[in-house]
Amino acid sequence: MKRAEAAAPGKIILFGEHAVVYGRPAIAVPLAAVQATASVEPAPPGTGLVIRAPDAGVTVLVTPGSAGGAYYNALVYPAQVVLRTLDVPAPDMTLTLRSTIPIASGLGSGAAIATAIMRALSDALGRTLAPAELNALVYEVEQRHHGTPSGIDNTVIVYEQPVYFVRGAPLETFGIGAAFTLLVADSGQPSPTKIAVSDVRALYEQDRTGIGAVFDAIATLVVEARHAIEAGAIDTLGALMTRNQALLRQLTVSSDALDRLCGAAEQAKALGAKLSGGGRGGNMIALVRPERASEVAAALRAAGAVSVIETTVGAGA
Ligand code: PMV
């Protein structure tokens, strides 16, 4: 047993959320500006495995059967999965978790927290998990969070690379022809992914043909977006984002606040804007020319964004 520390980034879904649950492709990139970090220290004998999340004022003891409680899924379950996988009892250790990723906001907080906990704990136990194994384990945690995850969050966060993701298919990354600048704006309304995903499911069950056609339209645009990113065709990319947002509205996963932010971005001459992640709240993204970033960011704040992060998805990403 040794000290260990691990981090995991947030993520942004650029195109294809929700349709990706139904086998259509989606594109996501890591967001290094926000991170979850876990550090593990040996503790006195008899302490057991204690997880602390000081920013949330939480301390929990991991026992094989511990279940329930608000922090079970996010903090305890990833640790239990590691102990079960490595087939070891809970060690005498303290794991401290910190995260700057807003919860339930479409930035992959759940997957990033699980990734950081699992990496740090397995490292501390001297049994570093290979990326494919870690990815499968984080997916298991995601299933507990929201039932039918596509697997996009765990994949982009564990591998820390841009991904062209199709559910069940091997990891596929792609080149970025020219760096582009995004603003990531938080509507300030937390929205659990699980609810949006199950509402889309209900919509699909009512009208498989109509909603299936929306998923297909999203799939077509994701393929076009990949080509635009590879070619560095930024204007095309912006227009595709705005079209994706219109299709997400048809899936009922936008919200007044998200629509207002997208409208404000476009008025301030962003190249395109859409919600990102589960929707109904959480974050939206706006594609901007770098020289207009601060003006668009100001417009987003004026339209109600509680935070705006500027990030460059780079040629070297
Ligand atoms: O809200 P997030 O960051 O967990 O993103 C969810 C993405 C969905 O496509 C809505 C669901 C999924 O499992 O892919």
Residue with the smallest CA separation from ligand 1 atom 5 is 277
Q: Best of 152, 166, 276 to mutate for ligand 1, by most ligand atoms within 8 A of CB? A: 152
pLDDT tier at 68, thresholds 50, 70, 90: low
pLDDT of 317 reads 43
pLDDT tier at 87, thresholds 50, 70, 90: very high
- pLDDT of residue 145 exceeding 80: no
Quote the ligand 1 centre to 271 CA distance (angstroms). Answer: 24
Catalytic residue among 87, 92, 153, 186: 153
Radius of gyration, alpha carbons of the chain: 20
pLDDT of 102 reads 85
CA distance 47 to 9: 30
* 261: its two tokens: 């932010």
Quote the ligand 1 centre to 292 CA distance (angstroms). Answer: 29
Task: Specify the amino acid at residue 233.
Answer: A
CA distance 53 to 192: 20
Which range among 9-18, 134-143, 189-198, 234-243 shows the weakest confidence by mean pLDDT?
A: 189-198
User: Which atom of ligand 1 sits closest to the CA of residue 149?
Assistant: 13
Q: List, for residues 246-298, the tens digit of each pLDDT value.
A: 999 999 999 999 999 999 999 999 999 999 999 999 999 999 999 999 999 99
Beta strands in 25-156 (DSSP E): 26-42, 49-53, 58-62, 93-99
Residue range 228-239: average pLDDT?
97
Quote the ligand 1 centre to 140 CA distance (angstroms). Answer: 14
Residues with CB under 6 A from ligand 1: 13, 17-18, 20-21, 106-108, 149-150, 152-153, 193, 197, 277-278
Q: Say if residues 111 and 144 touch (Cβ distance below 8 Å).
A: no
Q: Best of 141, 142, 150, 193 to mutate for ligand 1, by most ligand atoms within 8 A of CB? A: 193
Tracing tokens 């691990």 back to the chain, one arrives at 6
Q: In the annotation, is 153 catalytic?
A: yes
- pLDDT of residue 97 exceeding 60: yes
The model carries a pTM of 0.92
Q: List, for residues 158-182, the tens digit of each pLDDT value.
A: 999 999 999 999 999 999 999 999 9
Residue range 1-6: average pLDDT?
91
Which range among 68-82, 224-238, 242-256 shows the weakest confidence by mean pLDDT?
A: 68-82
Quote the ligand 1 centre to 257 CA distance (angstroms). Answer: 19
Tracing tokens 């945690």 back to the chain, one arrives at 141
| C-alpha distance from residue 186 to each of 27, 109, 157, 183, 240 (Å) | 20, 13, 20, 10, 21
Nearest to 312 by CA among 296, 297, 293: 293
pLDDT of 106 reads 85
pLDDT tier at 70, thresholds 50, 70, 90: low
Nearest to 304 by CA among 182, 184, 185, 192: 185
Residue with the smallest CA separation from ligand 1 atom 14 is 150
Return all residues near 57 (Cβ < 8 A) that are at least 6 apart.
none
Residue range 23-32: average pLDDT?
96
User: Which atom of ligand 1 sits closest to the CA of residue 104?
Assistant: 1
User: Which atom of ligand 1 sits closest to the CA of residue 277?
Assistant: 5
What's the mean pLDDT when you consider all of the chain?
94
pLDDT of 66 reads 65
CA distance 268 to 199: 32
* 247: its two tokens: 């299709």
